[in-house]
Chain A
Amino acid sequence: MIANDFVYCKPGNRREAVKAYRALSKEDKKVFYYNGGSEIITMARAGSNAPDAVIDLKGIKECNKLELEEDYLVIGGAVSLNTIEESGLFPLLGTTGSRIADHTNQCRITLGGNISGTIIYKETVLPLLLTDAKIILYGPRGFRRLQFKNAFDQRIKLRDGEFIYQVKIKKEMLSLPFTHVKKTAIEKIDYPLVTVCSISYGNYLRFAFSGLCSFPFRSVEIEKILNDSQLSAEERLEKTHGLLPEPPVTDYQGTGEYRLFVFDNIIKAILERRNNEVL
Chain B
Amino acid sequence: MKYYEGDCVIELDVNNEIRKATVRPSDVLLDVLREQFGLTGAKPGCKNGDCGTCTILMDGLPAKACLVLAVEAVGHKILTVEGLGGHTPIQEAFVQYNAFQCGYCTSGFLMVCHALAERKPNADEYEMEKWLQSNICRCTSYQEIREAVKSVLKHI
Residues of A within 8 A of B (CB): 1-2, 4-12, 16, 20, 36-38, 41-42, 44-45, 54, 56, 58-59, 82, 98, 101-105, 107-108, 188-189
Q: Are the C-beta atoms of A2 and B28 separated by less than 8 Å?
A: yes
Residues of B within 8 A of A (CB): 1-6, 24-28, 31, 47-49, 52, 55, 61-64, 66-69, 71-72, 112, 130-131, 133-135
A81 to B118, CA, bound (A): 20
Q: Are the C-beta atoms of A42 and B48 separated by less than 8 Å?
A: yes
Q: List 7 A-B contacts (CB under 8 A).
A: A8-B3, A10-B3, A42-B49, A102-B52, A104-B55, A104-B64, A104-B135
Q: Are the C-beta atoms of B49 and A2 separated by less than 8 Å?
A: no
Q: Which residue of A lies closest to B27 (CB)?
A: A2
Q: Which 10 A-B pairs have the closest CB atoms?
A: A104-B134, A8-B25, A102-B134, A10-B2, A2-B26, A104-B62, A9-B3, A8-B4, A7-B5, A107-B61
Q: Are the C-beta atoms of A103 and B134 separated by less than 8 Å?
A: yes
Given A103-B62, A188-B133, is A8 in contact with B71 using a C-beta cutoff of 8 Å?
yes
Given A5-B6, A105-B49, A189-B133, is A11 in contact with B67 using a C-beta cutoff of 8 Å?
no
In the complex, what's the smallest C-beta–C-beta distance from A50 to chain B, in angstroms?
8
Contact partner, B69, options A5, A16, A37, Cβ 8 Å: A37
Q: Are the C-beta atoms of B24 and A37 separated by less than 8 Å?
A: no
Given A7-B25, A102-B133, A188-B133, is A37 in contact with B2 using a C-beta cutoff of 8 Å?
no
A107 to B146, CA, bound (A): 22
Contact partner, B1, options A20, A37, A58, Cβ 8 Å: A20
Given A1-B31, A11-B1, is A103 in contact with B133 using a C-beta cutoff of 8 Å?
yes
Q: Which residue of A lies closest to B8 (CB)?
A: A8
A82 CB contacts on chain B under 8 angstroms: 61
A82 to B62, CA, bound (A): 11
Q: Are the C-beta atoms of B4 and A9 separated by less than 8 Å?
A: yes
Q: Which residue of A lies closest to B25 (CB)?
A: A8
Q: Which residue of B lies closest to A45 (CB)?
A: B47
A188 CB contacts on chain B under 8 angstroms: 133
In the complex, what's the smallest C-beta–C-beta distance from B92 to chain A, in angstroms?
23
Q: Are the C-beta atoms of A105 and B48 separated by less than 8 Å?
A: no
Q: Are the C-beta atoms of A16 and B48 separated by less than 8 Å?
A: no
A42 to B46, CA, bound (A): 11
In the complex, what's the smallest C-beta–C-beta distance from B88 to chain A, in angstroms?
19
Q: Are the C-beta atoms of A16 and B28 separated by less than 8 Å?
A: no
In the complex, what's the smallest C-beta–C-beta distance from A19 to chain B, in angstroms?
9
Q: Are the C-beta atoms of B49 and A38 separated by less than 8 Å?
A: yes
Q: Are the C-beta atoms of A105 and B64 separated by less than 8 Å?
A: yes
Q: Are the C-beta atoms of A44 and B133 separated by less than 8 Å?
A: no
Q: Are the C-beta atoms of B1 and A108 separated by less than 8 Å?
A: no
A59 CB contacts on chain B under 8 angstroms: 1-2
Q: Are the C-beta atoms of A108 and B134 separated by less than 8 Å?
A: no
Q: Which residue of A lies closest to B52 (CB)?
A: A104
Contact partner, A103, options B4, B28, B130, Cβ 8 Å: B130
A37 to B49, CA, bound (A): 11
A2 to B24, CA, bound (A): 10
A1 to B24, CA, bound (A): 11
Q: Which residue of B lies closest to A104 (CB)?
A: B134
Q: Which residue of B lies closest to A82 (CB)?
A: B61
Q: Are the C-beta atoms of B26 and A6 separated by less than 8 Å?
A: yes
Given A7-B4, A20-B1, is A108 in contact with B24 using a C-beta cutoff of 8 Å?
no
Q: Are the C-beta atoms of B25 and A6 separated by less than 8 Å?
A: yes
In the complex, what's the smallest C-beta–C-beta distance from A153 to chain B, in angstroms?
29
In the complex, what's the smallest C-beta–C-beta distance from B30 to chain A, in angstroms?
9
B4 CB contacts on chain A under 8 angstroms: 7-9
